[in-house]
């Protein structure tokens, strides 16, 4: 009897040691349905004996960026980039200084800037995101992202990525998944920092695509960025962009807003085990609370209205509560 007890004790100790040697790949997640859904999905799709096993070449996971991988409030970082680039544009084209909407942006009047309307924003986007070579743009974004800071935490935007989502990216990659960003933001903008920030290379960034024009400027062949939208990578455009850029249907998709709905629907419509998740911003203290967490029908950016919440429940998508599911939000001390 004592020997049996001893053997059991040893077995327990050994199994404990084995568990300890395989650290939790998602340490920033609290135990709960969201964490379990991710772990179950990985187990189901990567265990060779599983009915829903997915060959490694087909393992594709797609992630929205703004509001899913990093903070999108109070304003998208790419819009901040555009605003902060206006002085340089005006320096090169002084005639714009007295012209709207550039005049308002230059005034620094936050209230007036917040009231700029979509045609104004598009004019600013065209002036700040096009007209240079793709290499010049890449250099400019890299320089900005290395220095710019957000208005609340006064941190680099790349520090405002969600630690739990960084763990999901790494966990999926460690299990043979190719991770893609599928963003409404500019493809070239996100490519400039995504490799360093998320470990996701340029060829795995699907974003809104502006046209380029091959040109022999100064005798050297270059690609000039043009004010022409080839793909609006939002809503249906996310499913269409995934097909265009990847050519495979994702097995897992993560989003946080109405614009991600079609990507999740497209993912779910494939055969076998699929994972669809939505990040709910319900943590006003550690991040922000908006959408259904605030009882809002719609919010200014990154809308996650009641409608999406209802769709998620109807379709069996898993909602991630930042407040409940995430032990920590950021890698830096809160």
Q: List interacting residues with a copy of itself (CB under 8 A).
A: 57, 134, 178, 187-188, 191, 195, 201-203, 205, 209, 211-214, 220-223, 230-231, 236-237, 239-240, 243-248, 262, 265-266, 268-269
Q: Which is nearer to a copy of itself, 86 or 181 (CB)?
A: 181
User: For residues 19 and 13, what is the distance between their CA atoms, to the nearest angstrom?
Assistant: 10
Q: Which two tokens stand for residue 79?
A: 């819009």
With contact defined as beta carbons under 8 Å apart, do 265 and 245 qualify?
Answer: no
Query: 275-280 and 178-186: which strand pairing?
Result: unpaired
CB of residue 271 vs a copy of itself: minimum separation in angstroms? 11
Q: Which is nearer to a copy of itself, 74 or 211 (CB)?
A: 211
Q: Cα dist. 50→43, 53, 57, 81, 102 in Å? A: 8, 5, 17, 46, 58
With contact defined as beta carbons under 8 Å apart, do 109 and 101 qualify?
Answer: no
CB of residue 169 vs a copy of itself: minimum separation in angstroms? 16
CB of residue 202 vs a copy of itself: minimum separation in angstroms? 3
CB of residue 319 vs a copy of itself: minimum separation in angstroms? 20
73 secondary structure, DSSP code: -
Q: 277: which residues sit within 8 A by CB, 6+ positions away?
A: 34, 37, 38, 252, 253, 254, 255, 317, 318, 319, 320
CB of residue 49 vs a copy of itself: minimum separation in angstroms? 25
Q: Which is nearer to a copy of itself, 89 or 223 (CB)?
A: 223
Q: Which is nearer to a copy of itself, 268 or 324 (CB)?
A: 268
User: For residues 148 and 166, what is the distance between their CA atoms, to the nearest angstrom?
Assistant: 21
CB of residue 321 vs a copy of itself: minimum separation in angstroms? 26
Q: Which is nearer to a copy of itself, 34 or 252 (CB)?
A: 252
Query: 222-231 and 205-215: which strand pairing?
Result: antiparallel
Q: Which is nearer to a copy of itself, 257 or 299 (CB)?
A: 257
Helices (H), the chain: 2-21, 33-46, 77-92, 102-107, 110-114, 118-129, 134-147, 163-174, 187-198, 236-245, 261-268, 306-315, 322-325
What is the rounded end-to-end Cα distance, in angstroms, of the chain? Answer: 52
Q: Which is nearer to a copy of itself, 84 or 226 (CB)?
A: 226
Upper half-sphere CA count for residue 14 (Cβ side, 13 Å): 6
Q: Which is nearer to a copy of itself, 87 or 270 (CB)?
A: 270
CB of residue 96 vs a copy of itself: minimum separation in angstroms? 28
CB of residue 60 vs a copy of itself: minimum separation in angstroms? 8
CA 275: distance to chain centroid? 16
């Amino acid at each position: 009897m004592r020997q049996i007890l001893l053997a059991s004790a040893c077995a327990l100790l050994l199994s404990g040691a084995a568990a300890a040697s395989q650290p939790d790949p998602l340490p920033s997640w609290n135990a709960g349905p969201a964490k379990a859904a991710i772990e179950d999905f990985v187990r189901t799709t990567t265990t060779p004996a599983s009915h829903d096993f997915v060959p490694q070449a087909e393992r594709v996971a797609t992630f929205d960026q703004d509001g899913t991988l990093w903070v999108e409030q109070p304003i998208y970082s790419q819009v901040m980039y555009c605003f902060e680039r206006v002085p340089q544009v005006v320096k090169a084209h002084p005639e714009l200084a007295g012209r709207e909407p550039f005049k308002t942006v230059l005034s620094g009047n936050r209230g007036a800037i917040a009231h700029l309307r979509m045609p104004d924003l598009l004019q600013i986007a065209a002036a700040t995101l096009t007209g240079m070579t793709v290499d010049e743009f890449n250099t400019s974004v890299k320089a900005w992202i290395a220095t710019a800071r957000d208005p609340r935490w006064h941190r680099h935007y790349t520090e405002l990525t969600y630690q739990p989502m960084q763990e999901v990216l790494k966990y999926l990659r460690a299990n043979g998944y190719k991770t893609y960003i599928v963003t409404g933001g500019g493809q070239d903008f996100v490519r400039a920092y995504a490799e360093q920030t998320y470990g996701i290379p340029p060829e795995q960034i699907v974003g809104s695509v502006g046209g380029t024009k091959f040109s022999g400027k100064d005798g050297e062949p270059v690609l000039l960025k043009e004010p022409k939208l080839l793909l609006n990578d939002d809503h249906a455009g996310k499913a269409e962009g995934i097909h265009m850029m990847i050519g495979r249907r994702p097995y897992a998709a993560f989003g946080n807003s109405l614009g991600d709905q079609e990507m999740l629907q497209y993912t779910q419509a494939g055969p076998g085990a699929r994972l669809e998740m939505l990040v709910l911003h319900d943590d006003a203290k550690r991040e922000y609370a908006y959408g259904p967490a605030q009882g809002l029908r719609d919010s200014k950016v990154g809308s996650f209205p009641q409608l999406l919440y209802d769709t998620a429940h109807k379709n069996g998508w898993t909602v991630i509560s930042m407040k409940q599911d995430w032990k920590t939000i950021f890698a830096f001390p809160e």
